[in-house]
Amino acid sequence: MHQSAFLPLKRATMQWSTAFLIAVACLQLSAILCDKCTSEVSSSYYYDYTKVQNERVYWKYIKKERTVAIGCVLDSGENLAFGQTYRTPFFVLQCEKINDTAVLLRPIKCILNGKEFEKGSYVQTFKRNYTCLEREGRIGLVITGCVGDNAVIAKMPKSFTRRTFLFTCLSEGNQVIHKAIGCVIGGQRVGIHQVISIGKFWYKCSRYGNGGVKVIIMGCVTSGGKRIDAGEKYRDGGFLFHCKQKDLGVNIVFAGCIAKEFGVLKEFNFGESWYTKPVGSLSYRVMCAGDEKTVTAEVIECIANLDQGRKVIKVGECAKYGNDRMFSCLKQVEGKVVARLTLIEEHTFSFKTFTTIEGDRCPLPPK
């Protein structure tokens, strides 16, 4: 090995750092997924008992002759004594004597999902609030409100939220309608056909089916607030990204590199390369390497262009340039690639290895 004799005033040096790597944590997947819902219609249930029902009398017979009422007769033909009760799907009925010839099946409780509850009390299901109400000879298992997130009850005609949607609770006769009127995206209310940006993504609240709504992930948002449609590539922070459409959302992934070539800022896909602006007589060819998770700009060639013409060598190589100069393209420990033209004495070429003043070594080309 031989330590070359340097002439400092006649040495050309250029270095390129390959520290262009970005961690996977920089990539993002939309946390708010596509969702949809429909409006719902629910019914209240009522039972009228004002009419005295002579046809329901269970008679006492003496010597085959009808005498006085002793109970009630159900539709099934079953007999109930006075004071006994009978369960329908929604009410508990009690057989009551009006006089010796008339009876009444009076509702005394309401039933929901098999459970009894008293008049005036209410029971809350996952979606509705029912109250057992009695007015003027009529009892009803009446929907008196809608249930939203965190078991919050919305009285009619108030609005409420459930999951990622906004509803209003409306009454129409015996029916209650949960009408979808908007979306809740990122904790904010969004009207139908309106859009909103949340973090790195933007969304739209849209109509769905008959009276329903849905949340659609429309695309990505740059650091400057510009909205990008799903499927498009875009520049942001000096990098090239792809707003990639997934089955249930949108993913931001790397799509390549952005670099200036011949004074113009250009986009380069993975595997494509460009030339750097020369510093003096030296420049580089750089390749965009990586995948959707990482990206790096790697120097693959050094270029010298002086009085002896254009010379191109790969990283890790040295070559003679003219009769008195050595051209080297070496990667240093910290990852920098350094291109040098060094003036040396002719006898240096008789050695098999060229060593720079910093101690970097590379084999000399064959004579």
The pLDDT, as a whole number, for residue 159 is 84
Q: pLDDT, tens digit, for every residue of 159-205? A: 888 878 888 888 877 778 888 888 988 888 999 999 999 999 999 99
User: Looking at the predicted structure, is the pLDDT value of residue 253 above 80?
Assistant: yes
In a domain, 202, yes or no: no
The closest alpha carbon to 71, from 81, 63, 85, belongs to: 81
In a domain, 336, yes or no: no
The pLDDT, as a whole number, for residue 343 is 81
In a domain, 62, yes or no: yes
Letter for the amino acid at 211?
A: G
Per DSSP, what are the bridge partners of residue 279? Answer: 282
Range of the structural domain that residue 109 is part of: 54-114
Q: 90-99, 128-137, 167-176: which has the minimum mean pLDDT? A: 167-176
Q: pLDDT, tens digit, for every residue of 206-234? A: 888 777 888 889 999 999 999 999 999 99
In a domain, 157, yes or no: no
The pLDDT, as a whole number, for residue 360 is 58
In a domain, 61, yes or no: yes
Mean pLDDT of 236-245: 90
Query: How many distinct structural domains can be found in the chain?
Result: 1
Q: 219-223, 298-302, 305-309, 359-363: which has the minimum mean pLDDT? A: 359-363
In a domain, 4, yes or no: no
Q: 165-169, 339-343, 362-366: which has the minimum mean pLDDT? A: 362-366
Q: pLDDT, tens digit, for every residue of 19-52? A: 333 323 234 556 555 566 666 677 778 887 766 5
Question: Whole-model pTM?
Answer: 0.65
In a domain, 307, yes or no: no
Pairing mode of beta strands 353-355, 2-3: parallel
Task: Please answer whether residues 148 and 161 qualify as being in contact, where contact means their C-beta atoms are separated by less than 8 angstroms.
Answer: yes
In a domain, 87, yes or no: yes
The pLDDT, as a whole number, for residue 26 is 36
